Amino acid sequence: MGDMVFYLFAATTVLSGFFVVFSKNIVHAGFSLLFTLFGVAGLFAMLGADFLAVTQTMVYIGGVLILVLFVVMMTRIPGQDIPKRSFDRKIPAGVFSVLIFALVFKVINGTEWNVLPVDAPEATISMIGQKLLTDFIFPFEYASIVLLLAMIGAAILIRERKIDDEEEVQS
């Protein structure tokens, strides 16, 4: 059962990744990226890296992807004046991709892998939280202060630019 779920996550990740690359509609590519990132988070969870799975979900899906989708949807795309590309670039790139895939496939299948028995993975989130709030409290707080100062600085820069723009419009 576990192997089947792992292969399901892997297939979802790869197929939606192909759709991200080959989609002509940028909104569809963005939503396919959502499934790709969910698949990667699922693979992390299946491999016992629960902290990476949660971080993948919170940071990339919850923050970055939503921001990208909002920017894409809020941007007005002008008429499709993009020239059509011919096959002069696609054929060599496709041949190169197939050759690289065949090489990687041959190396993976031709290697004698040492398979060792693996114990059940332990939860890492509690250990990371314990370390962050005991041994690494100073770097953790220092990083939070640096990020807070960067946000305040960005807000000040934007506010000064907005005031300067309003003065130029009035004069």
Higher pLDDT, 170 or 11: 11
pTM exceeds 0.85: no
Tell me the average pLDDT across 123-152: 89
Of the candidates 6, 60, 70, which has an alpha carbon nearest to the alpha carbon of residue 33? 60
pLDDT class for 123, splitting at 50, 70, 90?
A: confident
What value does the mean pLDDT take over residues 65-70?
78
Model pLDDT, residue 167? 65
Query: What 3 state SS string does the chain have?
Result: CHHHHHHHHHHHHHHHHHHHHHCCCHHHHHHHHHHHHHHHHHHHHHCCCHHHHHHHHHHHHHHHHHHHHHHHHHCCCCCCCCCCCCHHHHHHHHHHHHHHHHHHHHHHHHCCCCCCCCCCCCCCHHHHHHHHHCCCHHHHHHHHHHHHHHHHHHHHHHHHHHHHHHHHHHC
Out of 68-77, 88-97, 119-128, which region has the weakest mean confidence (pLDDT)?
68-77
Give the model's pLDDT for residue 3. Answer: 79
- pLDDT of residue 62 exceeding 90, the answer is no
Confidence of residue 30 (pLDDT cuts 50, 70, 90): confident
Is pLDDT of 132 > 70?
yes
pLDDT at 9: 87
